[in-house]
Structure 1
Amino acid sequence: MQSITGYHPDVETLPQLLDWLNELDRGWLAVLRSQAWDSDMHTGTTNAAPDQTIASMSQTERTRLRSLLISGTGSLEEWLLRLDAPAGQSYEFILESLGLQQAFDELFTGTLAEMGSLDGSMNVPQGMVGTC
């Protein structure tokens, strides 16, 4: 996600970016659930090939992922400040006018919810105990 911020944001590509980030969220959900990836449906599946072994993530890997998603989402918010906006308009106003604000607000909610971090303990590691 840090690579995204190396580009200048523009309103034409924001919907594509959101689609890709949502697919990434579904991919992380599949990993967290130890599911195979269905490349046609773009989602996790329990129908793995007979010879396919799917390892589960360790607590350390889950903690790192959580940290990457939270810091990456913060970086995206800062990146959106560079969005070309008419004088006096915030990036939130532009996203809302494009119908994209809610989608940006809900980035990685599936993955974070799967890890148990949407219970008000978003930045408190103790809130993750027993949920990962």
Structure 2
Amino acid sequence: MIGILLITHGCFGESLIQNVCHVLNKRPPLIAQFGVAPQDDPLDILPRARLLLKEVDGGEGVVVMTDIFGATPANLALKLLQPGRVEGVSGVNLPMLLRALTYRDKGMETILQKAVSGAHDGVMKLPTP
């Protein structure tokens, strides 16, 4: 099973995990979040991020999800990436996370493709009555 590590601004990652628990009625295994605070120095928090990465790695790799590409959480995530072993996606939202959880037994390429398509497909204009 591929692990999932959320690196986000503040408590956004924890909120996503709480919502996943609500939807699935349980907390999935091998998932963690790291909330970056405004005062955090990226170099100081990198060891903690590496520790969390190890905690969610069940042996099949980890997908790191972050909220905004180019921001501190994404820059921290970039320092963790290892092609084929630790991959990353930005723009995390609830549909992306749920899709990733659904496909994380199907291999790294599949989970990445399904996560990105889940995020994209989850954004739509609601139909008017």
Q: Please indicate, yes or no, whether the TM-score normalized by the shorter chain is above 0.5.
A: no
Higher strand share: 2
> Larger radius of gyration, structure 1 or 2?
1
Of Structure 1 and Structure 2, the greater helix share is in 1
TM-score (normalizing by structure 1): 0.30
TM-score with structure 2 length normalisation? 0.30
